[in-house]
Amino acid sequence: MFKRSDESLIEKAIGGDAKAWQQLVSRYQAPLYYFGLRLLGSPDDARDLLQDVLIVLCRNLAQYRGDSSFKSWLFGIANYRAMDMLRKRKTTTEFTDEHDFYDDEAPSFEQQLYGQHTQRLVQQQLRHLPPEQRLVVELRFYQQFTFDEIADQLALSSNTIKSRFYAALDKLRTQLELADVEQSANF
């Protein structure tokens, strides 16, 4: 069966079709929640972000003009809200390893295959990046947006996005090396 386009679902939802709205929500619910989880580091905050973004989306559905992809437009809203939440927290030091959001009940085959240990380590180090850099890494790798799309979403130049991206890569490399040295020393 053919997948209906986002634009078609939006059009139907604006006309009052609840099923179309439900389909649109279920299409982006998980990506938005995981985005919040990785960026904010807490399931509660991620849930708040998800709820907030979906409410804003519902109220402003008719404002989507199709200039960019719907996903890009939606993440534009999510970025703004997530950065707002991070700004309210003021510092990134609030992130602690207490917020371990990996589900222990997940299948062990996949956990072993993709190395949950490395995954956790990278996630922990990502949380120590400045929010602006973390956001760019999230949007580039996890959401697969191009530099131009990210620049468009954040209303910044493409060069600024690239410089944040490369700075994030450099910093993450240093952090991962340090973490590796610490872990080796512990053993």
Partner 1 sequence: MSNSQQIFEAWLAGKITASECEQQLEPDTEWYSRFQTAQLLQRQAKAPFFAPVPEVDTMSIFAQQWQRPAKSSNWWPKLSVAFSVLALVVSLSPLELQMQDSGLTLIWRGGQQMQQQQLETLLAGYRKEQQDYIQTQLQSTQQQQASQLILLKDYLTEQQTKERRTDMLELVEYLNQQRQSDWHYWQENYQPSQARLDLGASPNAQNR
- Interface with partner 1 by CB under 8 A: which residues? 13-16, 18, 21-22, 25, 29-30, 33-34, 37, 43, 47, 50-51, 54-55, 58-59, 61, 101-103, 105-107, 110, 114, 118-119, 122-123, 137, 140-142, 144, 146, 166, 169-170, 172-173, 176
**Minimum CB–partner distance for residue 177 and partner 1 (Å):** 9
CA distances 87 to 12, 83, 94, 139, 166, Å, are 36, 6, 12, 18, 22
C-alpha 50: how far from chain center: 11
**Minimum CB–partner distance for residue 71 and partner 1 (Å):** 15
**Minimum CB–partner distance for residue 90 and partner 1 (Å):** 26
- Distance between CA atoms of residues 45 and 52, nearest Å: 10
Dig out the tokens for 118 from the structure: 């490395």
* Amino acid identity, position 106: A
Describe the crossing of helices 43-59 and 70-89 by its angle, rounded to 10 degrees: 130
**In terms of CB distance, is 29 or 96 closer to partner 1?**
29
**In terms of CB distance, is 58 or 178 closer to partner 1?**
58
**Minimum CB–partner distance for residue 55 and partner 1 (Å):** 6
